[in-house]
Amino acid sequence: MKIMLTALKKHWLFIVFFLIAAALRFYKLPYMASYDFDQEFVTNFVYDVREYPVRLVGQGLSVMGLFMGPLYFYLLVPFYAAFQWQPIGGFVGSVVLGLATIAAYYFVGNKLFSQRVALFAVALRAINYYSLAGDWQMVPTVGSDGLIVLLWYCLYKLWKRKQWYLLPSAAILGMFTSMHPSHFPLWFMVVALLFIWRKKMQYSLKISLVSLFAFLAPSTPLFLFEYWRKWAMTKQLFAIFFGGEPHESQFLTRLPIMTNIIIDFFEGVLDIPVQPQLLGFFALGVSVTFAYILVRKKLITDGVFHFTTLSTLLITMILYYSAFPTQVPEYYLGAVRAMLFLYIPVLLVQLPKVYGRLGWLILIAVLSHSLVRNIGIVNNRWQNAEQMATLVHKERAVQYIVEQAAGREFGLSFMTPLGWNFGFHSLFRVAGHEPVGRGLIYTIVVPKDRVYQDEIDFVSGDIAVLLPSKE
């Protein structure tokens, strides 16, 4: 009891921030939960696992023929089971992973910097709309941010000559094949760092072999899948990178694009307005200059480690995705954004130490602006909960059709923009009544204003249902 009271006294502010983060994420969760293509895949994966528990791959990537591993999707299976195999269970699992990520920021911030830095990182992550929306979307790219933060802690321990941390570092890098392959550049980043630090590190054969096993183990299902498909993905990757025409011109064109994405991430963490663009460049320039001053004055502990790792991350991400031969969504560089949530608080905490009262004013202004802006966005989404096409509204539309069909065969037609019809088929699977494409044909309309009001037989949120014609 005494130990618990001591812990509460030491970490009470973190507990407050953590509870606020949980409240923001769980409040009206069925209304906030986006249920589209990615989420439909998770539900189908879970229901397939119920029928046959072994799955070697998870979701397909944006590049046709390539797949990620199944780990992230298996993590969500217990949450589906706890909620009677309803999709809301998966979103609860996504939120739990998001809260675990917040806890990881607190742990790593404490270990690498100070409790104050850790608390600022938790506060920013707790209220930032990107973080909230990611937890409402049930996607592995955001769900893996916690692993990236923990990898940073392992690298710090390696830099401190704690060679056993090569084992968890390797395991985390291996898990990225199942969380999301967009983090593959971190493999190259770690290799580069181990090369840079090679003079201060020596690894025993035992640790090296165990670490190699830890790296390969999470990818075993994917390797088996590849073996049975005669290494089709490997051949495709080689063809993408080394086949066809050279990509030098594309590389040079993409360099500034990748750099701009990182600047956008910086603006997003601090909630700096996108326009005018010069404002973001100015804020980034001031931050980099301030960071240089802190390192020169040795106000940041282990500044060499932080400069080396962060700069290596930035260079690796920019070069890798500038050379990537296919389209690159901005979330592929998400590892940079994940680390900005840790390093921006380092700068904020130092403001009062360097500039006194002026520093306090700047700090309070930045945090107040972030709080007001993000809570405003979230509150606006809450107020429009009954006007969206999210999980609860799609479930209501599906339930209405099932009740109207009353056990008879039915099919579906859609009046939606391209891509807006995702999610419904898996919800019919959950309901136990799947459309067969014949019999009664029900029409789902999204958004509902695509038809006249007097044509609508059922509406929920921005979804309308039209009953089959009586003719």
pLDDT at 91 over 80: yes
| pLDDT band, residue 250 (cuts 50/70/90) | confident
Q: Are 70 and 45 in contact (CB under 8 A)?
A: yes
458 — pLDDT class (breaks 50, 70, 90): very high
pLDDT at 170 over 50: yes
What pLDDT, on the 0 to 100 scale, is given for residue 151?
Answer: 95
Per DSSP bridges, beta strands 440-445 and 410-415 are parallel
* pLDDT number for residue 62: 67
Peptide bond between residue 53 and the one before it cis (omega within 30 degrees of 0): no
Lowest-confidence region among 161-170, 292-301, 376-385: 292-301
Q: Please name the residue ranges forming H helices in 197-328.
A: 205-216, 220-228, 232-242, 248-270, 277-296, 303-323
The better pLDDT of the pair 364, 202 is held by: 364
* pLDDT of amino acid 144: 85
pLDDT band for 7, please (50, 70, 90 cuts): confident
Averaged pLDDT score across all residues of the chain:
86
Residues 294 and 238: their CA atoms lie apart, in Å, by: 44
Predicted confidence band at 247 (pLDDT cuts at 50, 70, 90)?
A: very low
Average pLDDT over residues 195-221: 86
Phi then psi for 460, rounded to 5 degrees? -145, 120
Kindly state the average pLDDT of the residues 379-402: 93
Q: Summarize the confidence of residues 34-45 as an average pLDDT.
A: 92
How large a percentage of the chain has pLDDT more than 90? 43
Residue 248 has pLDDT above 60, yes or no: no
Q: In this prediction, what percent of the chain has a pLDDT beyond 70?
A: 93
| Residue range 80-97: mean pLDDT, rounded | 95
The position carrying tokens 């490997």 is: 234
For the cut 90, the answer to whether the pLDDT of residue 301 exceeds it is no
Taking the CB of residue 386, how many other CB atoms lie within 10 A of it? Answer: 11
User: For residues 28 and 132, what is the distance between their CA atoms, to the nearest angstrom?
Assistant: 12
Grade residue 392 by pLDDT with cuts at 50, 70 and 90.
Answer: very high
Q: What is the edge-to-edge ordering of all strands in the sheet holding 440-445?
A: 410-415, 440-445, 463-466, 458-460
Task: Over range 339-355, report the average pLDDT.
Answer: 88
Query: For the residues of 329-358, what is the DSSP string, one character each?
Result: -GGGGHHHHHHHHHHHHHHHHHHHHHHTHH
State residue 63's pLDDT score.
67
- Beta strands at 410-415 and 458-460: parallel, antiparallel or unpaired: unpaired
Position 460 scores a pLDDT of 92
pTM equals 0.91
C-alpha triplet 218, 175, 221: angle, nearest 5°: 30
Say yes or no to pLDDT of 245 above 60: no
Residue 471 confidence (pLDDT) above 60: no
- Is pLDDT at 29 greater than 80 in this prediction? yes
- Residue range 300-322: average pLDDT? 88
Nearest of 253, 241, 219, 188 to residue 63 by alpha carbon: 241
Ramachandran region, residue 406 (left: φ > 0; alpha: ψ -120 to 50; beta: rest):
left
